[in-house]
Structure 1
Amino acid sequence: MSTDLSSEMSRVPRSPAPVAIGQVQVGPGRPVYVIGEIGINHNGDIETARQLIDVAAAAGADAVKFQKRTPQICTPAAMRDTPRQTPWGEMSYLEYRHRVEFGMPEYQKLMAHAADLGLHCFASPWDVPSVAFLEEAGVPVHKVASASLTDLQLLAALAETGKPVILSTGMSTLGQIDTAVEILGTDRLILLHATSTYPLPAAEANLRTIATLAERYRVPVGYSGHERGLQISLAAVALGAVAVERHITLDRTMWGSDQAASLEPKGFAALVRDIRILEEALGDGTKRVFPGELAPLSRLRRTDG
C-alpha cells in the first residue's frame, strides 16, 4: 500500500459509538434496529393496537412506537372546534384528538404485551406533560417526531430524562438540527434521516443525507420512511442506516391519515426479512477469497508457470 493511501486511510473518521436502548446496541456494525411505527393507526382501539404489536413481532422487528399527545396542548386553538368526520360520527377536532389517545392503563397493557413478545415499546411525546407520562410508563427510549424538532422546551425536557433519544429530521434545516443536537447532546442520540412527505416520492428521499448527518454529528443515523414499497428503505440500509422506522397498519384502506403510507403485515415482514439479508450481504469490507470461490478458482483461473 502506498504511503499516500495509508495516510489517507488513517484520516478516515471512526464510526460513532453505538447507543444502548435497553440491552440492545444500536449503531454501525450492529443489526439494524427495526421500528414498527403504530402511531395512531390503532384509531384509539386497544385491540387493534395489540394486533399491530403482534404484526411487528411476527415480522421480527425490534420495537413498536406510538404517539402521545396532551390534546388540549397539541390542538391549535383555531382548530379545536372545527368539525371532523370520523368513523364514530362528526365531532370537534379536539374531541377526535381525545378519542385516539390511550391513557396509562392502556399503555401499561400494551407495553407489557410488547415485552412478552420481546419488543421495545415507546412513543413520540408531542408536549412536555407527555414526556412525564411516558417516563412514568417506563419507556426505554424517547422518539422526537420531525414536527417537534424545533420545540426546544420539549427537547430540554427529553434531555433531562437521561434516556436515549431518537430524533427524526424531516422538514428541518441543518441549522435547526444543530440547535436540537446542542440541546439533546450526542452521548445517547440517534438521528433518523426523514423527508416528511406522505407518501414519499423517490425524488424527495435524498438518501445520501444519511452520510451527511453521520459525518456532521458523529452519532448513529437511521432512516424513517413514508414511501410506498420497500426499495427506498432497503437502499437506506445499504447506505449505512443503523435503524429503520416504518408505519405499519392492518389494512391501508382503514380510516386515518397515515394508513395509506403504511406497510401491511406481509409488506412489513418482507422488509425485515430483506433488511436481514442485506446485513449479511454487506459483509465486513475485507477483501478475501471465500470458500465458495475455491472450486471455480481451481477450475477457471489460468496461472503462469
Structure 2
Amino acid sequence: MAVFIIAEIGINHNGDINIAKKLIEIAKEAGCDAVKFQKRTIEKVYTKEFLDSPRESPWGSTQRAQKEGLEFGLADYQEIDRFCREKGIDWFASAWDLESQEFLSQFNCKYNKIASAMLLYEPLLQAVASEGKHTFISTGMSELTDIERAVHIFKEAGCPFELMHCVSTYPMDDEDANLNRIKMLQDIFKCNVGYSGHEVGLAISYAAVALGITSLERHITLDRAMYGSDQAASLEPAGLRMLVGAVRKIEKAMESCSFSITPKEVSISKKLRAHYLNND
C-alpha cells in the first residue's frame, strides 16, 4: 500500500488565496495525494477577552485582527475547491468547531481530519464520524484513554479512520519524535497508523515510513521565513519534492521480504563464485 501523502497548507497561506493556490500547485507537482487546510469559526474557538487582547500582526494590533486575517471564507473555499479539481488533487480541512465542520461538509470532500487539539471534543468527533468519510485522527497531546475514546466513537459510527502519530510541538525536536508509538498504536488498535510531523528536516519522516505508516502529513510553505507560527516546522518546495521522492523509493525498497537469491543476483553469483564453485 502506497503511503498517502498530505501537504498541510493549514494557515500558511496567510489569508491570501493566491499563496494557497501556489502551494496547491507545488503539492501537486511534488506528487502529493492531497492538500489540507484548517477551518475555524473565530467566535466559537476563542473568547471575546482573548480576541480583544493585543497582538501585532500584518492585519492589525489585536488577536481578533490576526485570527480573522488568517481565516478563509466561503468564496475562498469555493475557489480552492474549483482549483483543486482543475489541478487534479484532493483537498480537505480540519474543523476546530461544529459550525466549521458543517461549513466544510458542503464541499463533499473525500476525507475528514481530526486535529490533535480537537481529539477531546466529543461532539465534533461524533459529527465527523456521522459523515462516514475516511478520517485521519491525529493523536498529539493525548493519553491512551483519549485515543481509545475517539476510536470507539468512530467504530460505533462505522466510520473508516486511521490514527496519525503526532507530537504537537512546533517545531518538534528530533529526540521527542517517539516513533515507536507508531507500532504501539498499530498493535493496540489493529488499524492503519500514519504520521503527522512537525520536525525540521526529513529524516524522522523517512523513519516513520520505514515503520509502516499508511499516511504522512507535513506542513508546507513557500518560505519558512514568512509570517506565521507554523512556518518554521514546514517544508519549502524543494524539501517537499525530496520527501515525496524518497518516500516512493522507501516503499519500493520494502515491497518484498525474502531470504532467496534474487533473479538479478544469479548471474553475479555465478561470476563472483566461479573460482571455487566450478572447481568441484
Query: Shorter-chain-normalised TM-score: which range?
Result: over 0.9
The alignment of Structure 1 onto Structure 2 pairs a total of residues equal to: 275
1:72 is aligned to 2:43: yes
Q: What's the CA shift for 1:94?
A: 2.1
Could you say which residue in structure 2 is the equivalent of 1:112? 82
* Higher alpha-carbon deviation: 74-83 or 270-279: 74-83
Q: What TM-score, normalized to structure 1?
A: 0.87
1:99 is aligned to 2:69: yes
- Aligned residues of 2:12 and 2:221 also touching (Cα < 8 A): yes
Q: Unpaired runs of 5+ in structure 2?
A: none
- Aligned residues of 2:84 and 2:91 also touching (Cα < 8 A): yes
- Aligned residues of 1:72 and 1:94 also touching (Cα < 8 A): no
Could you say which residue in structure 1 is the equivalent of 2:250? 278
* Higher alpha-carbon deviation: 31-40 or 138-147: 138-147
SS at match of 1:41: coil
Q: Distance in 1 between matches of 2:80 and 2:159?
A: 29
What is the one-letter code of the residue matched to 1:71? Answer: I
Could you say which residue in structure 1 is the equivalent of 2:12? 41
Could you say which residue in structure 1 is the equivalent of 2:171? 199
What is the one-letter code of the residue matched to 1:68? Answer: K
Could you say which residue in structure 1 is the equivalent of 2:114? 144
After superposition, the C-alpha distances for 1:143-172 in whole angstroms (9 at most, x for unaligned) are 111111001111011111111111000110
- Aligned residues of 1:33 and 1:244 also touching (Cα < 8 A): yes
Query: Which runs of structure 2 are paired with 1:170-249 in the superposition (5 Å)?
Result: 170-185=140-155, 187-249=159-221
Q: What's the CA shift for 1:218?
A: 1.3
Q: Distance in 2 between matches of 1:299 and 1:290?
A: 15
What is the one-letter code of the residue matched to 1:59? Answer: A
Could you say which residue in structure 2 is the equivalent of 1:168? 138
Q: Distance in 2 between matches of 1:159 and 1:199?
A: 30
Q: What's the CA shift for 1:76?
A: 3.0
- Aligned residues of 2:6 and 2:36 also touching (Cα < 8 A): yes
Q: What TM-score, normalized to structure 2?
A: 0.95
Q: Distance in 1 between matches of 2:133 and 2:108?
A: 10
- Aligned residues of 1:144 and 1:166 also touching (Cα < 8 A): yes
Q: 1:125 aligns with which of 95, 99, 102?
A: 95
Q: What's the CA shift for 1:225?
A: 0.3
Q: What's the CA shift for 1:245?
A: 0.2
- Aligned residues of 1:52 and 1:250 also touching (Cα < 8 A): yes
Could you say which residue in structure 2 is the equivalent of 1:251? 223
Q: What's the CA shift for 1:100?
A: 1.3
1:262 is aligned to 2:231: no
SS at match of 2:106: helix
- Aligned residues of 1:199 and 1:260 also touching (Cα < 8 A): yes
What is the one-letter code of the residue matched to 1:130? Answer: S
After superposition, the C-alpha distances for 1:84-143 in whole angstroms (9 at most, x for unaligned) are 1112332x2123222211112211211221122221100000001111111112211111
- Aligned residues of 2:35 and 2:89 also touching (Cα < 8 A): yes
Q: What's the CA shift for 1:187?
A: 4.7
Could you say which residue in structure 1 is the equivalent of 2:263? 291
After superposition, the C-alpha distances for 1:222-267 in whole angstroms (9 at most, x for unaligned) are 1000000000000000001111100000000000000011000000
- Aligned residues of 1:104 and 1:137 also touching (Cα < 8 A): no
- Aligned residues of 2:133 and 2:159 also touching (Cα < 8 A): no
Query: Which runs of structure 2 are paired with 1:20-35 in the superposition (5 Å)?
Result: 30-35=1-6
Q: CA RMSD in A?
A: 1.4
SS at match of 1:199: coil
Q: Unpaired runs of 5+ in structure 1?
A: 1-29
